[in-house]
Homo-oligomer: A and B are copies of this chain.
Amino acid sequence: MTELISSIETHDIRFPTSRERDGSDAMNPFPDYSAAYIVLRTSDGAEGYGLVFTVGRGTEVQVAAVEALSDLVVGHAVADVLADPGAVARRLTGDSQIRWLGPYKGVVHMAAGGIVNAIWDLAARRAGKPLWKLLADLSPRQLVAQVDFRYLRDALTEDQALDILEAAEAGRADRERSLLEDGYPAYTTTPGWLGYDEDKLVRLCRQAVADGFSLIKLKVGADLAEDQRRLRLAREAVGPDIRIAVDANQIWGVDEAVRWMEQLRQFDPYWIEEPTSPDDVLGHAAVRRALAPIRVATGEHVQNAVVFKQLLMAEAVDVVQIDACRVGGVNENLAILLLAARFGVPVCPHAGGVGLCELVQHLAMFDYVGVSATVRDRSIEYVDHLHEHFVDPVRIRDGRYVTPTAPGMSAQMHAGSLDAFRFPDGPQWTSTSPFVPAA
């Protein structure tokens, strides 16, 4: 019998992180890190896992969107789906009725991305490889065939993408070996949440340096005097040689971003992240021109490759922050990696939340092996939250991600975590007893 995609099951999983103000920033004072968690099953009993990261209320809308798209995949032959995930991605993002609700943005686009990632997870499990390795083993032509170039050709054609991928073939084996031996650089946001007091800030800054990180990130934007005090404390704690990035989480208008950052320049910020609306390409370009040499970074809320294309064409960013769950999955992130390589801009993925570190490490590591061929000025965000809920959690050693070797995209969560944090009826939401991971 032909093996079919038999079901897509979606779970509303929420962690009450707002109780400790983990993850608090200028625009997200009380997030409850959450996920629309996706289990894609085949008629032979195989499974692929994906998720869409959310921050609490509205996760049920994200779940509804995944369910609305499921019909476009369920019932299809697994062999067809795995032979060309790009075709499935185009079907999911291009459905002529559902696309009205985006197109290529927001809830329906993230839902498509979650399903596409679950398909790649299944493909990698079946191949017995971690996703980064599965991608690295595809030929340049196979990779180019996985990208939707419809709206990208004015910046990146199929031939240009092929050139980038072919150029990266030299030295591939060496990079793969170094990746497996030394891992991939990480930076940490753990010290920098707005809701933490000054003692905790200083302690976590010192700890970050002791743990081997060379870049830390602090949230800013709620109060200027407070930002100056926190940045001074952080700079004193880490010394002049550690890079300190700051992140405003979209709180400013364009001119306000420039004025505020001029008041923080004395603390030598390495980049300013999300200075204004993630939709404002021209605004980011204006901020970058005004603030250089402070770098401008954005991406966790950049809705799709068309906006990344413009950020690069307009010379609006110094750092491209891909996110595993914001865009249309592995395929669109492949497009974004290729665009960044074409413009010579480093990719430093957004992570944290629930499972973002687990998923996005595969994309950054593939970028190193198969696309940009360098880790220079590149690192993956690391936040030490909620990894205990994953079957194959990220590991950090000496300020670097340890390269995963288990098959898949590392998205699978423990069954016990799904049970405990199911919203609204899991015991973590109906009682106040502390959670002990099931693993």
Contacts and interface: CB of A to CB of B under 8 A. Distances in A.
Top 8 A-B pairs ranked by shortest CB distance? Answer: A106-B106, A56-B97, A57-B97, A58-B98, A154-B254, A107-B107, A64-B64, A55-B100
Interface of A: 27-32, 54-58, 60-62, 64-65, 68, 95-110, 149-154, 250, 253-256, 276-283, 286, 301, 303-304, 306-307, 309-310, 313-314
A109 B108 contact: no
Nearest to A52: B101
Contacts of A103: 250, 278, 301
16 contacts: A28-B97, A31-B97, A55-B97, A57-B97, A60-B68, A61-B108, A64-B64, A104-B279, A105-B279, A106-B108, A150-B253, A153-B253, A154-B283, A154-B286, A281-B281, A281-B310
B107 A101 contact: yes
A70 B27 CA distance: 21
Given A106-B106, A152-B253, A313-B282, A65 B61 contact: yes
A32 B97 contact: yes
Number of copies: 2
Nearest to A276: B151
Nearest to A54: B100
Contacts of A154: 253-255, 283, 286
A304 B106 CA distance: 13
A4 B310 CA distance: 46
A104 B105 CA distance: 10
Nearest to A149: B253
A98 to B, nearest CB: 4
A65 B111 CA distance: 14
Contact of A280 (B60, B106, B280, B310): B310
Given A28-B100, A31-B96, A104-B279, 10 more contacts: A30-B96, A30-B97, A31-B97, A54-B97, A101-B110, A150-B253, A151-B276, A151-B277, A154-B283, A279-B303
Nearest to A62: B101
Contacts of A303: 105, 279
A286 to B, nearest CB: 7
A280 B307 CA distance: 7
Nearest to A71: B57
A101 B253 CA distance: 21
Query: Which among A55, A97, A152 has the greatest number of chain B C-beta atoms within 10 A?
Result: A97
A101 B66 CA distance: 13
B58 A153 contact: no
Contact of A95 (B57, B151, B309): B57
A283 B151 contact: yes
A309 B310 CA distance: 15
